Structure 1
Amino acid sequence: MRTDIFARLDREPEPPKIETPRMSPHRIALFGGTLAFYLAIVIAVLMSSWLVTLDWKVMLFRPYQQWPGIHAFLDYYVVLGQRGPTAVMVACWLGWRSWRQHTLRPLLTLGASLLLLNVTVGAVKIGLGRLGPHYATQIGSAELFAGGDIFPSGHTANAVVTWGILAYLAATPRARRYLSAMSAIVSLGVGLTTVYLGTHWLSDVVLGWAAGLLILLGLPWVEPLITRAENWIFAAREWLSARGRTVAPEPAPAGTPRPVPACLPAMGDAAQGSAREPAGTGGHQTTVATATGGRPRAHTAPPAHPGHTARSERTPVTPAGSRRPPHTERTPRGGAAPARPVAGG
């Protein structure tokens, strides 16, 4: 039985149509405001403004030393922002959604959002090259263009996108509100946890929130590409199914002779050439020919040579006629012998 997602899509009834989010004026306004905020944070760090001073104050405060009791818990909590574990957990849920809703859109949307996140956040990280708090070299410096990859916070941006995609794909407004609140709490907690552990500056976390929110707000622009990708996947699946489908051969009609291998006629000739077979234990000879045209009788004795096949395993070949002329002078065993002519004298 097929257990893949496509088999499930074939068996389940068609679900109700789920409305795809569109780029409304309200969403465009939020996207523009978030983008302006994102650029403002980058400029503030580049200019070593008061935001960089705040970063150093929080770093020198060393929160992990002020509240050491929660350190063990936060070490596990921050995993909710790691891309690998969170992507697996959310992909399992969205895979079940795809199973139930007859569509690959949830999984494709998750893949598209993570791809956009890696490209955008990764490019800024590499371009600015900021060092983290544990690797800072000069107090009060922004630590930019020093070969680091800490700005913006990848944990924070990943938490916003990975958990926020659940709210983006929610089927009802009520579920969207609840999931939006949950994703906001998780991403807020992950960002502050990285500040507590000293792995990120505060400005890294703020920029990570903005980077993740930009991905979620801009996803409706990617929806046409997701739809085309889904159609292409299903079309490729149908093409592969049609190509791999095999047609069973039609059975041959009754009475159709089967082809005989080239090596069998010689074997058949040799079998028909011997007209006698040993019978019984007395060593006498009998004629092996039936009344239907001289077809050799099946013999079940093992072959004389290990490399030869038994006569019963060979394909029978019907000869056109007996190859040995009948012996008219031969009399049956036990009968009276014919009188011989007596020579003269």
Structure 2
Amino acid sequence: MRTNRKLTRLDRVFARLDREPERPAHIDVPKMSRHRVVLFAATLAFYGAIVWAVVITSWLVRLDWQVMFFRPYQQWSEIHAFVDYYVVLGQRGPTAVMVAAWLGWRSWRQHTLRPLLALGVSLLLLNITVGAAKIGMGRLGPHYATSIGSNEMWLGGDIFPSGHTANAVVTWGILAYLASTPRARRWLSALSAVTSLGVGLSTVYLGTHWLSDVLLGWAAGLLILLALPWFEPLIARAETGIFDLRDRWRERRADAVAAPPAGSVTAPVLLKPLSAPADDEVAACEAAPAARPARAIVHPPVYLAPGPHTARADRMPVTPAGSRRPPHPDRSTRGAAPTARPLTGG
């Protein structure tokens, strides 16, 4: 009796993916619209305001110290284990590997390198901008603060802005940036914003960052996502160059396979034309026929019976001993001296 196997949810997901076209007819590439330019300018102004508020040791710095003295990790110690795992969503190594794996599969399915190249460009911009700001401002973290109420700027630290928050904004926000439909872009944008703010608040809970570090890190990551359309022409040229390089490499490989190896080509052999033999050569051949090489006689192969071969003298007789002829008294043995026959008659 044959029964149909019940499809699982994973089977239905793969069946739906197989029905999708391998190469999408149209890939929506975000452009630097007026709305995006306004958002970029507003975020840049917010970034500058946060930096200025910390530099002049304003109310934002006092709020940082109040949150630090509150010690959230002691007030809500029951969620400490969860926060330790949740903050990993902002670490650059694990998140970059997870997002790169997903975008790599998408690039392979859509036959385009744009998702991976966009991720690479965004991470490069993140390392340059956030790293330069960290080193340039040199702010110390809450655990290393020296003077109560100070902004702890230019003292050799590297926590302003928050790298975890900026990395969470860029890494998870790139999924929303590369979404193929407006609905998916809206949902992924909201999800990445909540995730990045959660990562930033987790660092404040653990006491590794000031609250102003988180606000500046969120603004730094958002600036990179808003500026990505300016780098789309560069991404398109890089993709075209990589595909051209791949095509040239394939052509060279095909030519190398089709061409014969260098050692197989031999020098041409010059054949001497046939000519009639001279008279002296004919006379020499007739005078000395024995000098001609004798034709070798080829004997057919000898097939021996299986088993060890013994000499003829060592073989056992296959017949009874003695002669098989009946005895004749009047005959003598071969090789013996003949006996005298009796004379009869007269």
TM-score, length-scaled by structure 1: 0.70
1:233-277 Cα deviation digits (max 9, x unpaired): 1111111122222244579xxxx9998xxxxxxxxxxxxxxxxxx
Fraction of identical pairs, as percent: 72
1:22-61 Cα deviation digits (max 9, x unpaired): 0000000000000000000001101011100000000011
- Could you tell me which amino acid in structure 1 is paired with residue 28 of structure 2? E
Whole-angstrom distance in 1 between the partners of 2:214 and 2:259: 66
Whole-angstrom distance in 2 between the partners of 1:122 and 1:170: 28
Whole-angstrom distance in 1 between the partners of 2:244 and 2:294: 66
Report how far residue 289 of structure 1 moved. Answer: 3.7
- Could you tell me which amino acid in structure 2 is paired with residue 96 of structure 1? W
Whole-angstrom distance in 1 between the partners of 2:77 and 2:22: 54
1:181 maps to 2:190: yes
1:220-241 Cα deviation digits (max 9, x unpaired): 0010110111111111111112
- Are the counterparts in 2 of residues 157 and 209 from structure 1 also a CA contact under 8 Å? yes
Report how far residue 101 of structure 1 moved. Answer: 1.1
- 1:81-100 equivalence runs, <5 A: 81-100=90-109
Report how far residue 218 of structure 1 moved. Answer: 0.6
1:66 maps to 2:75: yes
Whole-angstrom distance in 2 between the partners of 1:188 and 1:113: 19
Match of 2:323 in 1: none
- Could you tell me which amino acid in structure 2 is paired with residue 84 of structure 1? G
1:294-340 Cα deviation digits (max 9, x unpaired): 8x979x9xxxxxxxxxxxxxxxxxxxxxxxxxxxxxxxxxxxxxxxx
- Are the counterparts in 1 of residues 139 and 157 from structure 2 also a CA contact under 8 Å? yes
Report how far residue 184 of structure 1 moved. Answer: 1.0
Whole-angstrom distance in 2 between the partners of 1:232 and 1:257: 42
- Could you tell me which amino acid in structure 2 is paired with residue 60 of structure 1? F
- Could you tell me which amino acid in structure 1 is paired with residue 251 of structure 2? A
1:108-143 Cα deviation digits (max 9, x unpaired): 000000000110000000000000000000000110
Specify whether residues 107 and 138 from structure 1 end up closer, same or farther in structure 2 by C-alpha distance, changes over 3 A only: same
- Are the counterparts in 2 of residues 161 and 215 from structure 1 also a CA contact under 8 Å? yes
Match of 2:161 in 1: 152
1:90-117 Cα deviation digits (max 9, x unpaired): 0011011101111000000000000001
- 1:114-125 equivalence runs, <5 A: 114-125=123-134
- Are the counterparts in 1 of residues 23 and 109 from structure 2 also a CA contact under 8 Å? no
- Are the counterparts in 2 of residues 129 and 144 from structure 1 also a CA contact under 8 Å? yes
Report how far residue 150 of structure 1 moved. Answer: 0.3
1:172-217 Cα deviation digits (max 9, x unpaired): 0111111111111110100000000000000000000000000000
Match of 2:335 in 1: none
> Which protein has the larger Cα radius of gyration, Structure 1 or Structure 2?
2
Q: What are the ranges of 5 or more consecutive residues in structure 2 without an aligned counterpart?
A: 1-20, 270-291, 302-346
Report how far residue 145 of structure 1 moved. Answer: 0.5
TM-score, length-scaled by structure 2: 0.69
Whole-angstrom distance in 2 between the partners of 1:122 and 1:129: 11
1:104 maps to 2:120: no
Whole-angstrom distance in 2 between the partners of 1:257 and 1:109: 56
- Are the counterparts in 1 of residues 168 and 196 from structure 2 also a CA contact under 8 Å? yes
Size of the aligned set, in residue pairs, is 254
Residue from 217, 221, 232 that aligns with 2:230: 221
- Could you tell me which amino acid in structure 1 is paired with residue 46 of structure 2? F
- Are the counterparts in 2 of residues 133 and 198 from structure 1 also a CA contact under 8 Å? yes
Specify whether residues 55 and 228 from structure 1 end up closer, same or farther in structure 2 by C-alpha distance, changes over 3 A only: same
Whole-angstrom distance in 2 between the partners of 1:116 and 1:239: 31
- Could you tell me which amino acid in structure 2 is paired with residue 194 of structure 1? T
- 1:128-277 equivalence runs, <5 A: 128-245=137-254, 246-248=256-258
Match of 2:32 in 1: 23
Whole-angstrom distance in 2 between the partners of 1:106 and 1:289: 82
1:56 maps to 2:65: yes
Whole-angstrom distance in 1 between the partners of 2:23 and 2:74: 56
- Are the counterparts in 2 of residues 82 and 155 from structure 1 also a CA contact under 8 Å? yes
Query: Secondary structure, in 3 states, of the residue corresponding to 1:19?
Result: coil
Q: What are the ranges of 5 or more consecutive residues in structure 1 without an aligned counterpart?
A: 1-11, 260-286, 301-345
More moved, 182-191 vs 78-87? 182-191
Whole-angstrom distance in 2 between the partners of 1:250 and 1:207: 64
Match of 2:45 in 1: 36
Query: Secondary structure, in 3 states, of the residue corresponding to 2:213?
Result: helix
Whole-angstrom distance in 1 between the partners of 2:218 and 2:100: 21
Whole-angstrom distance in 1 between the partners of 2:118 and 2:124: 10
Specify whether residues 13 and 84 from structure 1 end up closer, same or farther in structure 2 by C-alpha distance, changes over 3 A only: closer
